[in-house]
Chains A and B, each alone.
Chain A
Amino acid sequence: MSLWPMHRQATGRKRMADFFAMGGYGSYIWPGYAVFLIVLAIDAIAPRLRRKRVLAEVRGKLKRRQARETAA
């Protein structure tokens, strides 16, 4: 470990680069982790969107029924 700050910075960058290189397998590891995170993010977000749609449908049905009852 060198006491020179510039040298230390270079070591930090190299360690970072080593980490992302994954011993030469980075191009297999990182897409795998990306797919995992993206698919699970979709899994969490999709129901939220559907919830909005379902609630709007329930309100729509209720409104139509009330309109019918008022007319009758």
Chain B
Amino acid sequence: MNRLVLWFHKIGSPPTFYRIAGALAPWLFGLAILLGAFGLYGGLVLAPRDYQQGDAYRLIFLHVPCAWMSLFAYAFMAVNAFIALVWRIKLSEILAMASAPIGAAFTFITLVTGSLWGKPMWGTWWTWDARLTSELVLLFLYLGVIGLYHAIEDRRQAARAASFLALIGIVNIPIVHFSVNWWNTLHQGSTVRLMGPSKISSDMLWPLLTMALATHIWFFASLLARTRIGLLELDGGKDWARDVALADAPAGNGAKAHG
């Protein structure tokens, strides 16, 4: 084996990943909160009022980053689900399952902030517009993956069944993304583009991009925290997990590690 494969193998081993994730997660949470506070200050205080939407547009600083995250988390989950199904790597199973609740949280925020934005701008909380409907389907897909994972007793079988569902659901991702181009309905088109100029002024754009960065970092912080627990649960019978459990035990309440 070459050095890269060896390195990969080492990182992917549960005790090593557990340790590294534990060291990284608090820093990522801290950085996400700092960037988020900075971005929200920029969005709520520094950014000017929109000439058409007044102050109502300020929901964009939550709605758009969370909507991006709802798709990003799904893509991340699907890639790990694929690896889990093809190569049966334990860590990928856990990473896939750990990203589902975070993705569901971001999808939920997207739907709620969208609804709160829709009421004053469109005059309705909800409409069966293509973008809104496909985003709601995305939430149900996340809930389906989480539900299926918890419905099966054996953790590894459960992860594989839920990974399979996650892979089927990936057909919904391009539908969410392109829905505003394919069907011309109530939801507005993209404001920020990777290619070509964005349709937004720079003093609104930087808080938006800061929030996008903050939510991405938050995703990985939460993912690492959740993956650590998944690893402990799956490796509960192994020495390293016992050592962690015993070190955590309240004094006088622990069993001996190697009895």
Q: List residues of A whose CB falls within 8 A of some B CB.
A: 19, 22-26, 28-29, 31-33, 35-36, 39-40, 42-44, 46-48, 50-51, 54-59, 61-63, 66, 69
Contact = CB atoms under 8 A, between A and B. Distances in A.
Interface string B241-255: 110111011000111
Nearest to A49: B229
Contacts of A42: 105
Contacts, number: 105
Interface stretch (B160-168, B177-185, B189-197, B218-226): B218-226
Given A22-B55, A25-B56, A35 B112 contact: yes
A39 B109 contact: yes
A66 B254 CA distance: 12
Nearest to A42: B105
Nearest to B112: A35
22 contacts: A23-B54, A24-B55, A26-B55, A28-B120, A32-B116, A33-B40, A35-B112, A36-B62, A36-B66, A36-B113, A39-B109, A40-B105, A43-B101, A43-B102, A46-B101, A47-B225, A55-B245, A57-B236, A58-B236, A59-B246, A61-B237, A66-B256
- Interface SS, B side: helix
A27 B63 CA distance: 16
Contact of B222 (A24, A35, A47): A47
Interface string B90-124: 00000000000110010011001100110110000
B131 interface: no
A59 B29 CA distance: 28
B248 A29 contact: no
Given A22-B55, A22-B58, A23-B49, A59 B116 contact: no
A39 B54 CA distance: 26
B113 A35 contact: yes
B203 interface: no
The 8 closest A-B pairs by CB, nearest first: A23-B55, A58-B245, A22-B55, A25-B56, A32-B113, A63-B255, A32-B116, A23-B54
A51 B229 CA distance: 6
A48 B105 CA distance: 16
A32 B62 contact: yes
Interface residues of B, number: 46
A40 B55 CA distance: 24
B166 to A, nearest CB: 19
A55 to B, nearest CB: 5
Nearest to B254: A59
B232 interface: yes
B195 to A, nearest CB: 29
A43 B105 contact: yes
A66 B242 CA distance: 13
Interface in B27-48: 29, 40, 44-45
Contacts of B254: 59
A13 B193 CA distance: 39
B218 A29 contact: no
A28 B105 contact: no
